[in-house]
Structure 1
Amino acid sequence: MPIVPLKLPKMGESISEATIISWLKNVGDTIEIEETILEVATDKVDSEVPSPCTGVITEIRFQANDVVPIGEIIALIDATETSNTAQEISNEEVKNETVKSPQVTNTSSSNNLEFKTQNSEFIRNPDAFLSPLIVSIAKKENMTIEEVQSIPGTGAEGRIRKSDVFNYLKNRTYPLASRPQIQAQTQQPKSSYNPPPIKYVEGHDTVVEMDRMRKMIADHMVYSKHTSPHVTAYIEIDVTNMVNWRNANKAPFQEKYGERLTFTPLFVEAVAKAVIDFPGINASVSEDGKKIIERKDINIGMATALPSGNLIVPVVKNADEKNLKGLAAEVNHLANASRENKLKPEEIQGSTFTISNVGTFGSLMGTPIINQPEVAILALGIIKKRPEVITTDKGDEIAIRSMMYLSLSFDHRVVDGYLGGSFLRKVGDYLEAFDPKRKI
């Protein structure tokens, strides 16, 4: 019978590796075609990998917590139904193929490192992309940016992976003291403040271990505050026309298009329009901190709370190119997929600007943390009715209006008060100027 390789499937354009969470089957187990065989994780998304055929597992090459490159053979299956097999290789090919494992990769990286350490200077790639995870590891290991950028990356297009850093640390022989100019740039003054010990009573207080996603969120938030000097601006707007229009049209909209009409697609629409007016807000800062990269695509991330309490940011791609029906359909799909843990890896990647609807939880306003590598994030507060002084043809009057606060946190390295304030005001203008006679 043919031996079928189970390869780690592609999980998104920029994803080059995944971490194995757990195997649901063992060597010797019989599996059916499309039956889930293991669970893997990439960034914030957990995915299930199905079997490509019916058969018996004869070999498992990686274990839980191993970081595996996309396309790597992770298991072999002795197929019993070749007609259902999408891809087969002969026993001889499997026998002759080098079985790749983290140890083999370590050996390769080690050889590269030995070659490098013979030189007195780092062989550095200043354009190397450093993910928040890599930066977090580097900080814990007291590594300089130059040192990290000198590590040979084995990911796509030479990207430095977590396993590359760990392999490097096992063979770390650089005399860091011989680089005093780098140390002086990166060494932080030692604080005289000693954090107080956290005391708790076992059996009385509850100690909860952070899950993997919460740890990643924590790392990302700390990295963002460490990277970007945050400034937050606020405005208050009158959204009475938008609220009345949405309340009057949500039932007809769902009947016509089969989609729920929430406020979120209206917010995304206004943000996308404002980004076109102020493209500088749709940007990132280069790794060396010296260049501003303005994005052509307008991909709006929408911070979404999961049932577990964790946060995830699915992305409405090319939001400026979608009409209200398209935006509503995409927002509903992403929200449902988030709640059901069915988001695809590519659906949480590539955002260029993020919104966070803190009003969902009753908050009047918020001071959101920037979703790196973006340069700004918008928080939308709760919509509340209250008496306001408005100007009419008869003069000033007191009327009941639907009011809300918008707050924009921005990276003051590249976004100054003019750009941040103007963009925020423009979003407010679009929401306030909502056409009450708009057709669905």
Structure 2
Amino acid sequence: MATVELKMPKMGESISEATILNWLKKVGDTVEEDETILEVATDKVDSEVPSPCNGVISEILFEPNEVVEIGKVIAIINADGSTKVKSSLSEESKPSEKVETEPKETIQSTKGIISSSEFKFRNSGENDGFLSPLVISIAQKENLTIEEIQSIDGTGEGGRIRKSDVMQYLKNRKYPLPSRPQANVSKSTYKAPPISFVEGKDRIVEMDRMRKMIADHMVYSKHTSPHVTSYIEVDVSNIVNWRNRVKEEFLTKHGEKLTFTPIFVEAVSNAIAAYPMINVSVDDKKIIVHKDINIGMATALPSGNLIVPVVKNADEKNLLGLAKNVNHLANSARNNALKPDEIGGSTFTISNVGTFGSLMGTPIINQPEVAILALGIIKKRPEVITTDKGDEIAIRSMMYLSLSFDHRVVDGFLGGSFLRKVGDELEAFDINREI
């Protein structure tokens, strides 16, 4: 029986090592040719390593989370000889029947297809998010967009998308969805300044995988969209007073907590309906206007990382429906139980920076959207208001709203008008509203 050395595959010219994420097989397991054995990751891409032959795993040389140099042997497979090993035998290896597998190049992302590493971030729910090179190849060939891939239900282990899942989707495919816009940004020649490090005082903390992906996504957004931020101040006294009065009754009647978030989502949905050109994406020189109003909610995870669950078709839900949806998404995010279709497809995002005590914020656009709204903390302040008796000073609940928008397609008039509309929706809230 031939012995096959499985080596850490090459991940790109500039990458010299990779981290083992997870072994999908253990010693003694039978594997088939091209069956995935383990998952590996670098700071740029996640990938699967397939078996080069049919056989049995006889030895695993590294554990999960260990960093391994490219080309180093990571496992030994006893090939059963029924299939030809995908690597030619060298003259030295023939006598001992030991062969070396050629490392496979990691498939890189192309226009319309998200990289495997970011796909993992966007789908950190029931589906583990990894795409095999075969699935990526089919998706590229058929011009599948990110949203289409996310919509496919995987039937493989852990909810993974298999070739048969993609082919079934293509068979019933009705229309393509817009792909993610790609930025053509040249690399900067600027040399980063050195970082001072004091041995024994300072310490180094490695970014976890999600943090690296968030960092890449934020830098991509800044490189892609020229950001402009506008601010307004809003009197939300009616909302605060109404919620304080009905929240216990709302919980008793509907079994749902009433937070401010569904009220904010409702106001944003109404404003988008009035200004639909804020609900768009940019694809090169074309503007894609989305019919659905899907509101993403930037949500902090217990780990300190960030995820954006999505309220789908927010304009079609009443306040109770929004409250149920928002509570479900928030609870699922805290328990790491979000499903893939609950964190994809947003067309506009809100970020409640007031949760952390911030007065206001300058949020970064969640690509491929063109705007994001930050909601500041609600604070009571003395304000001058106009009454039937004239101008008076009263204690009011005030909040700052800040809208960051993509100046490629959203000018000051549209951005300012939309932001003012959100403010008007909040200030015009009916304090006598039924629940």
Fold equivalence (TM over 0.5): yes
2:293 pairs, out of 291, 298, 308, with 298
Equivalent position of 1:128 in the other structure? 111
Match status 1:154 vs 2:147: no
CA shift for structure 1 position 340: 1.1
Taking the TM superposition and a 5 Å limit, the aligned residue runs for 1:81-96 are none
CA shift for structure 1 position 68: 4.7
CA shift for structure 1 position 205: 1.1
2:282 pairs, out of 279, 285, 288, with 285
1:313 pairs, out of 308, 322, 334, with 308
| CA gap 1:107/1:343 in 2 versus in 1, 3 angstroms | closer
CA shift for structure 1 position 155: 4.3
2:354 pairs, out of 347, 351, 359, with 359
Contact 1:250 1:261 in 2 (8 A): yes
| CA gap 1:279/1:104 in 2 versus in 1, 3 angstroms | farther
What one-letter code is carried by the residue in structure 1 that aligns with 2:111?
Answer: A
Query: What is the distance in 2 between the residues matched to 1:357 and 1:331?
Result: 13
Taking the TM superposition and a 5 Å limit, the aligned residue runs for 1:184-263 are 187=186, 190-191=189-190, 194-263=191-260
Runs of 5+ unmatched residues, structure 1? 1-18, 29-56, 77-94, 110-124, 136-151, 162-184
Query: What is the distance in 1 between the residues matched to 2:383 and 2:86?
Result: 69
Query: What is the distance in 2 between the residues matched to 1:75 and 1:336?
Result: 44
SS in 1 for 2:396: strand
What one-letter code is carried by the residue in structure 1 that aligns with 2:30?
Answer: T
CA shift for structure 1 position 350: 0.4
Query: What is the distance in 1 between the residues matched to 2:427 and 2:83?
Result: 64
2:423 pairs, out of 421, 424, 428, with 428
| CA gap 1:188/1:104 in 2 versus in 1, 3 angstroms | closer
Match status 1:378 vs 2:361: no
Taking the TM superposition and a 5 Å limit, the aligned residue runs for 1:8-87 are 21-23=21-23, 26-28=26-28, 57-59=29-31, 61-65=36-40, 67-68=47-48
| CA gap 1:108/1:195 in 2 versus in 1, 3 angstroms | closer
What one-letter code is carried by the residue in structure 1 that aligns with 2:26?
Answer: N
SS in 2 for 1:223: helix
The C-alpha deviation readout for 1:64-120, integer Å capped at 9, x for no partner, is 216359xxxx999xxxxxxxxxxxxxxxxxx9999999x8995898xxxxxxxxxxx
Query: What is the distance in 1 between the residues matched to 2:252 and 2:403?
Result: 35
Equivalent position of 2:90 in the other structure? none
| CA gap 1:341/1:188 in 2 versus in 1, 3 angstroms | closer
| CA gap 1:284/1:100 in 2 versus in 1, 3 angstroms | farther
CA shift for structure 1 position 190: 3.7
Equivalent position of 1:138 in the other structure? none
CA shift for structure 1 position 215: 0.3
Query: What is the distance in 2 between the residues matched to 1:385 and 1:240?
Result: 9
Contact 1:61 1:75 in 2 (8 A): no
| CA gap 1:429/1:98 in 2 versus in 1, 3 angstroms | farther
Contact 2:385 2:391 in 1 (8 A): yes
Query: What is the distance in 2 between the residues matched to 1:419 and 1:312?
Result: 28
2:391 pairs, out of 377, 393, 396, with 396
Task: Please report the RMSD computed on the Cα atoms of aligned residues, expressed in angstroms.
Answer: 3.7
Contact 1:153 1:159 in 2 (8 A): no
Contact 2:282 2:288 in 1 (8 A): yes
| CA gap 1:208/1:58 in 2 versus in 1, 3 angstroms | same
2:403 pairs, out of 383, 401, 408, with 408
CA shift for structure 1 position 324: 1.1
| CA gap 1:265/1:389 in 2 versus in 1, 3 angstroms | same
| CA gap 1:195/1:20 in 2 versus in 1, 3 angstroms | closer
What one-letter code is carried by the residue in structure 2 that aligns with 1:195?
Answer: A
What one-letter code is carried by the residue in structure 2 that aligns with 1:263?
Answer: F
CA shift for structure 1 position 325: 1.1
SS in 2 for 1:63: strand
CA shift for structure 1 position 343: 1.2
Q: State TM-score, norm by structure 2.
A: 0.65
The C-alpha deviation readout for 1:29-52, integer Å capped at 9, x for no partner, is xxxxxxxxxxxxxxxxxxxxxxxx
Contact 2:279 2:369 in 1 (8 A): yes
